[in-house]
Amino acid sequence: MNLKEILSPDCTRVRVAESSKKRVLEYISQLLAPKLAGVSKSDIFDSLLQRERLGSTGIGLGIAIPHGRLENAGQPVAALITLEQPINFDSIDNQPVDLVFALLVPKDNPEIHLKTLSAVAERLNNKECCRNLRHAKDDADLHQLMTQDPAQCN
């Protein structure tokens, strides 16, 4: 999965100043809503929140990958943010989160959902890549780092 196809520069933000999981999910919903015609911010927020109720998407090491499926989504879209201050995300390792990659996919395409989640998790499993993302100097730098060839992370 080529992340450039789903992660646009305008959905990439560094040092976001939100203080809770709920506020982060609301912020992400606001970023992604313009990318999905016929889908509201509240539809996105509800989808992300519904998934969080099944279990935290905080995967550990300061990383969360909130995701959801939407009935009216025509294509997958993503957002990537770093947080100014780490927040509690109920992660599996109980560590606060400062790196959040959110993904929304069409409800009728579970295959793309799993493939994309796998590609993102693989990228974020690279410690050097995560270090680079956390030290991105601006939104454009963050986008470029996330969408570059994974071999360039090292």
* CA atoms of 81 and 70, how far apart (whole Å): 21
**What Å distances lie between residue 145 and 18, 76, 110, 122, CA to CA?**
22, 20, 27, 14
| Catalytic site residue from 67, 113, 135, 143 | 67
Give the sign of the dihedral formed by CA 126, CA 128, CA 80, CA 63. positive
The answer to whether 7 and 78 are in contact (CB under 8 A) is: yes
Please give the backbone phi and psi of residue 51, each rounded to the nearest 5 degrees, phi first: -65, -40
The answer to whether 35 and 8 are in contact (CB under 8 A) is: yes
Q: Which of 12, 40, 53, 41 has the alpha carbon at shortest distance from 145?
A: 12
67 is catalytic: yes
Residue numbers annotated as active site: 67
